[in-house]
Amino acid sequence: MAAPKRIALVTGAGSGIGRQISLALLGEGYGVVLAGRRQDALDDTVKLAGEAGANALTVSADVADASSVKNLFAKAVERFGRLDLLFNNAGIFAPPVSLEELSVEQWKSAVDINLTGVFLCTQEAFRVMKAQSPRGGRIINNGSISAHAPRPFSASYTATKHAVTGLTKATSLDGRQYDIACGQIDIGNASTDMTTLMKKGTLQADGSTKVEPTMDAGHVAKAIIYMDSLPLDANVQFMTVMATKMPYIGRG
């Protein structure tokens, strides 16, 4: 295959949205570094890419661990020589329990992965993008509808996603002088292997349980590719891609 012209790094690439984005980027000719905690899941993603998988590098990494993140980015640069796009996607949900029943350990785990992980990866991306030639690159954070409106029993996830929005803004501002653009995509009810439980019904703010509409995750992949197609002097600061009829507008 031809050498890739653009290099991307995707966290949480072994399943869900991360897998869909990785496959889409590989299909577009990107070189893609796939990061995640489970090596077998990363390998499965590459297999799904077919011949395009030749432009993939898998790295088992824990985004909540600073040394693991440093190793991840070092391997990315060693293989591809630069980084054009970081998609901060890795995230976890805490158990759906009332706020007072959420343990400190569960809270900290969500903060470590959903927020600190984004920070650590952004730090390393800054170091690479500032030093490379041509300078700069793009960072896209996976925000979520929960960066705007919570679901019941989601204190840690909602808090971290609101914080990601703040980090997106700070990153966008601090990256300007280095030609680093940062935007955020807020995704609502994309259909993946991780949303299959929604087909059984999702708890609503009024206490009822309803089956919510979903959308093809491929639409999210197209949105990411569009965001990254722009020159670095243009940026999609925030984009919401959601199932049209899901309960977001008017939620609660």
Q: Within a domain: residue 168?
A: yes
Does 165 reside within a domain? yes
244, with CB counted inside 10 A (0-12, 13-18, 19+), is exposed
Percent of the chain with pLDDT over 90: 77
pLDDT band at 248 (very low <50, low <70, confident <90, very high): confident
Catalytic residue of the set 30, 157, 226, 248: 157
Quote the pLDDT of residue 199: 75
Please report whether residue 249 resides in a domain: no
pLDDT over 80 (residue 17): yes
pLDDT at residue 250, as a whole number: 67
Q: Name the residue range of residue 35's domain.
A: 7-242
In a domain, 23, yes or no: yes
Of residues 11 and 144, more confidence is placed in: 11
Whether residue 235 is predicted with pLDDT greater than 80 in this model: the reply is yes
Any domain includes 248: no
Q: Tokens 């489970």 appear where?
A: 38
Q: Give me the mean pLDDT over the 220-227 stretch.
A: 97
Total domain count, the chain: 1
In a domain, 251, yes or no: no
Residue 13 has which token pair? Answer: 């690439």
C-alpha span between 62 and 98 (Å, rounded): 28
What is the rounded distance in angstroms from the CA atom of residue 11 to the CA atom of residue 139?
12
* Interval 44-91: pLDDT, tens: 999 999 999 999 999 999 999 999 999 999 999 999 999 999 999 999
**Residue 143 forms part of a structural domain:** yes
We report the CATH number of the domain holding residue 120 as 3.40.50.720
Residue pLDDT, tens place only, 132-186 = 999 999 999 999 988 888 888 889 999 999 999 999 999 999 999 999 999 999 9
Stronger pLDDT, 5 or 112, i.e. the higher one? 112
| pLDDT at residue 104 tops 90 | yes
Task: Compute the mean pLDDT over every residue in the chain, rounded to the nearest whole number.
Answer: 94
pLDDT of residue 203: 85
Specify the pLDDT at position 62.
97
Task: Report the pLDDT value the prediction gives residue 195, as an integer from 0 to 100.
Answer: 67
Annotation says 226 is catalytic: no
Per-residue b/e over 117-131, b at no fewer than 16 CB within 10 Å?
bbbbbbebbbebbee
**Alpha-carbon separation of residue 79 from 45, 47, 128, 208 (angstroms):** 19, 19, 13, 50
Cα–Cα distance measured from residue 114 to residue 177, given in angstroms and rounded to the nearest whole number: 26
